[in-house]
Amino acid sequence: MALCCLLIHVVLLACCSAHNEFFTSIGHMTDLLFTERDLVASLKDYIRAEESKLEQIKKWADKLDVLSAAATQDPEGFLGHPVNAFKLMKRLNTEWGELESLVLTDTSNLFISNLTIKRQYFPNDDDQTGAAKALTRLLDTYKLDTNIISTGQLPGSSSNALHRSTLTVEDCYDLGKVAYSEVDYYHTELWMAQALKQLEEGEASRTVDAVTILDYLSYSVYQQGELKRALDFTRRLLKLDPTHQRANGNLKYFEYQLAKQKKMEGSDEDSEMRQRRETRGRPADYLPERKTYEQLCRGEGVGMTPRRQSRLFCRYYDNNRHPKYVIGPVKQEDEWDRPRIVRYHDIVSDMEIEKVKELAKPRLRRATVHDPQTGTLTTAHYRVSKSAWLGAFEHPVVDRINRRIEDLTGLDVTTAEELQVANYGVGGQYEPHYDFGRKDEVDAFEELGTGNRIATWLLYMSDVQAGGATVFTEVGATIWPKKGTAVFWYNLHPSGDGDYGTRHAACPVLVGNKWVSNKWIHERGQEFRRRCSLQETD
């Protein structure tokens, strides 16, 4: 029965997941916890069976130990008793054979079988690497120290010991190796230094030693142009292992380069070393607004002037006396003025949220982005989440949410895209992007035949303990997630041109589980609902 339940669980796991990229969705990672729980139960069954077997063997050994000790003191006298002679024959002919069978009994078969089946659906190397990069991303975005992450003392994290995990020396070393494989020597140094610190503070490690860590440290700081520090790390390494071949070679090279550098001080310095020192720090990347993006994620945005702030209001909203909301208007709050971003409070119930998550979870797949070069959808490292699409016909709750969006925005949702539900993974994020298609993009949304994305409705379906804000990098707005609320903005000006002030991003989730759903509303059907302005510049 237990095996049957186990196999059913495995089949369900296979059906609800596309095997890898577990790190891109906390929702799918929860399945792994139950998988691991089942494996632990199976492992304990195996341990109990082994302990029972060893207990039988121990009793047999103890009995024979006493018997043989007495018998060998006077072998002939002992065997002179016919019963003893018979029992010796019996033991050697029969009972030792039975003991051999007991010893050779493989109680691990069921456990190994379970493990083999489940391993087909385990995270792979890409998952582990993705999760490692996520920790480093959180380190940078929220200006954390490696020790804070290693000790599990993250801002917003629970004080419950069960929810606080720490990194071992091996963990920090592995994180450093991932950075090293990406030719990211800055983060290699940070994580290797943390591993060395924990090792020197007395933490034991079975697989990593100080020599190996110092080897990585010396090379990573050298690659960043820090010759003196590279030399210091190399000397520390050689004190521990004077015969280290590579370190001995590096020692001579670093001493030579350092002497050469000192001679060139005040003259033409070695260009390669100078360039490395000038570029020391986080490696440059593809995102020009990285600094602004991360500041906003930390809540360090410029914000708006007090005068602009005074023009933002909260109100009860009935959308021009809409029949559904005249008696029970909704709470609407101005979040930003240009572009205008409004938040609707208590817009969905917990029951509706749970139903949407229930419908979406089995279909969650790695979220894709629109490739402007090819016009196709593809996965991208800057969007770490999983998503699913829900049609209004699938459940009354989805239909009800769609009608609510139409009633409150006044826009026709029959030409809108289906409700997209997204769940963010470890350090889950979506870097700055536009929801609308730009003029230079290849056939953006042409296949839909409904025009460009005129507006976005973003529904928060969970609170997030830390991180996970929605930020608008062009204007400096930061919108924090709040369960049961939705934010709404127009992506296009009344003229139909894109509003470049709506460039936005989903910040990495530092602590918590972020669920959102969004509705992208298109131009077609809005001709008489949001009329074009007579002025092209409006």
If DSSP codes are grouped into helix, strand and coil, which group holds residue 478? strand
If DSSP codes are grouped into helix, strand and coil, which group holds residue 73? coil
3-state secondary structure 222-269: HHCCCHHHHHHHHHHHHHHCCCCHHHHHHHHHHHHHHHHHHHHCCCCC
pLDDT surpasses 50 at 65: yes
**427 or 342, greater pLDDT:** 342
pLDDT digits (tens, 9 = 90+) for 85-98: 666 766 777 777 88
Q: Are 316 and 331 in contact (CB under 8 A)?
A: yes
10 Å CB burial of residue 189 (0-12, 13-18, 19+) is: buried
φ and ψ at residue 411, rounded to 5 degrees: -100, 150
Dig out the tokens for 146 from the structure: 């490696």
pLDDT average, residue stretch 161-181: 84
Evaluated on CA atoms 159, 160, 161, 164, the torsion sign reads negative
pLDDT digits (tens, 9 = 90+) for 260-284: 888 876 555 555 556 555 556 777 7
Beta pairing class for 466-467 and 314-317: unpaired
- Closest among 436, 472, 473 to 452, alpha carbons compared: 436
- Residue 248 CA to residue 227 CA, distance in Å, equals 15
**221 or 31, greater pLDDT:** 221
Q: Note the pLDDT of residue 194.
A: 97
If DSSP codes are grouped into helix, strand and coil, which group holds residue 15? helix
- Closest among 297, 300, 274 to 287, alpha carbons compared: 297
pLDDT digits (tens, 9 = 90+) for 366-386: 766 655 555 555 655 656 788
pLDDT average, residue stretch 48-62: 90
Confidence of residue 7 (pLDDT cuts 50, 70, 90): very low
pLDDT average, residue stretch 26-43: 84
pLDDT average, residue stretch 254-262: 88
